[in-house]
Structure 1
Amino acid sequence: MPTVTLPSYRIESADWHSHGRALRALRETVFIQELGGEEAREWDHADSKAHHLLAWASESVEAVGTARWLPSGQIERLAVMPEWRGRGIGSALLASAVRELRDSRRITPFVFALENTQAFFAHLGFDPEDAPFEKHGQMLAHMALRRPDALIDADLRSRRLGETTGRLFLTHSEHLALAARQLAAQAHRQIDLLSADLQPAVYDQQEFVEALRYLAIELRGRLPVRILVIDPEPSLRRGHRLIELTRVLSSDIQIRLVPKDWAEHSDQFLLCDQAGLFLTRYQDPRRTLVDFNSGAETRRLRRLFEQIWEQGEVHPGLRRLFL
């Protein structure tokens, strides 16, 4: 298996009418039984109007976490079952709520955080807006999302190929590397990569290479991994892991050179199965679009990839790998 750890849960949108029983059971366990909250305050009129999220155990009907967000931008009722804590579910629920909120309306997400949860929210980009205040005998802090980049890791780790909707624009190399390996590790059919120089900070990473190795071995004989490169010389000199992997699995992972006619103004992209997209446009090289469920754009770029692949040739330095 690839060394990337995939989530042992999935997060889905929910509503009170259809999922009220699961939502109620979770919140009763955490907020009333565990934390001693008052039942009369737990259930309010907002539930019927709120947008709910449920985290489900993978391949199961067991609900293990929940959160809800309101049209005002408030995120609340974030809860994870005790035996499922420590797996990133709370962070993923928060990231999913922020993603849904921002897709729905242009408003800054905020929370009212208990004293013992403020560090959790601060770690994920929420900053205090006002002095703490008391409500129902508890001290609360009004915290708003002011550093959204802090949520990107949690967001990427929670996404599922072909399921999670929503685009991300990334600029930092550590986020790009994480996005690439999360996409590659979830691919089951095909990975196509077009890169100027096989970007070492993104693609010369052990977990990404292991994901490609796993797919190539699983689908041996079908050429499931194809790579187009504009300038392979830097990678050849440095002993890039993808070059070495191609040498070992030369029948199942192949590299070709992008023809000159295509190279000058070419976008760079990673395509995973029929929906995973990692795209850096020639006109906007400083940021990369990542989408785990972009079927139409992925299919368009794969058609382009096929055209270039048919015209591509093996670079003399790469040809030696196949001798």
Structure 2
Amino acid sequence: MGTVRVVKATTKEDLEKVFAIRRTVFVDEQNCPPEIEYANEEESIHFLALSDQQPCAACRWRKTDLGYKLERFAVLKEFRGKGIGAALVSTVLADLPADAHYVYLNSQVNAVGLYAKFGFEAEGEEFEEAGIKHYKMVKHF
């Protein structure tokens, strides 16, 4: 694998790449309803991962009533298992405000191990979101 860079997606072009990756992974591959997938876009900070300049993954964070929620981690199939998800998590955590003391996410069951490496712990029962099994995970500081 070549060079991986994670950038904040602030231009219209970068945001279109972010949404295209998420559409491929969540809507096409995992059959997530588009109206669920594209909620809360305006108040979110978006990120785009590039492998040798090719868009390959995306995610976002946003402030909620509970704290800071990391969401929509999507890696295109041909780029999975190459550490790109970890690069996204690392970049997003570094981007959060200094006062971000409650950081959480809803992890698909198969990604729990990735988030655990960054200090997230599963809390509560497994639940279903858009037909996919998840655990709520909270980062402990």
Q: Secondary structure of the residue that 1:26 maps to in structure 2?
A: helix
Match of 2:61 in 1: 69
Matching residue within 36, 42, 60 for 1:41: 36
The CA RMSD over aligned residues, in Å, is: 2.2
**1:16 Cα deviation after fit:** 6.9
Q: Contact conserved, 1:16 with 1:47, CA < 8 A, in 2?
A: no
Higher RCO structure, 1 or 2 (CA under 8 Å, sep 6+)? 2
Q: 1:16 to 1:36 in 2, by over 3 A?
A: farther
Give me the whole-angstrom Cα distance separating, in 1, the residues matched to 2:44 and 2:69. 10
Q: Percent identity?
A: 26
Give me the whole-angstrom Cα distance separating, in 2, the residues matched to 1:82 and 1:19. 19
**1:20 Cα deviation after fit:** 2.4
| Mapping 1:95-114, distance limit 5 Å | 95-103=90-98, 105-114=99-108
Q: Contact conserved, 2:15 with 2:46, CA < 8 A, in 1?
A: no
Matching residue within 60, 67, 81 for 1:86: 81
Q: Contact conserved, 1:15 with 1:48, CA < 8 A, in 2?
A: no
Q: Contact conserved, 1:53 with 1:66, CA < 8 A, in 2?
A: yes
Answering whether residue 121 of structure 2 is matched by residue 127 of structure 1, we say: yes
Q: Which runs of 5+ in 1 are unaligned?
A: 1-5, 149-323
**Rg comparison, structure with higher value:** 1
Deviation by residue 1:251-277 (Cα, 9 ceiling, x = unmatched) = xxxxxxxxxxxxxxxxxxxxxxxxxxx
Deviation by residue 1:126-184 (Cα, 9 ceiling, x = unmatched) = 102223334444432111112x6xxxxxxxxxxxxxxxxxxxxxxxxxxxxxxxxxxxx
Q: Secondary structure of the residue that 1:47 maps to in structure 2?
A: coil
Q: 1:140 to 1:16 in 2, by over 3 A?
A: farther
Match of 1:8 in 2: 3
Q: TM-score, normalised by structure 1?
A: 0.39
Q: Which runs of 4+ in 1 moved over 4 A?
A: none
Greater helix content: 1
Match of 2:134 in 1: 140
Residue-pair matches, total: 138
**1:42 Cα deviation after fit:** 1.1
Deviation by residue 1:104-143 (Cα, 9 ceiling, x = unmatched) = x332321111222222222332102223334444432111
Q: 1:82 to 1:52 in 2, by over 3 A?
A: same
**1:54 Cα deviation after fit:** 0.6
Q: Contact conserved, 2:108 with 2:134, CA < 8 A, in 1?
A: yes
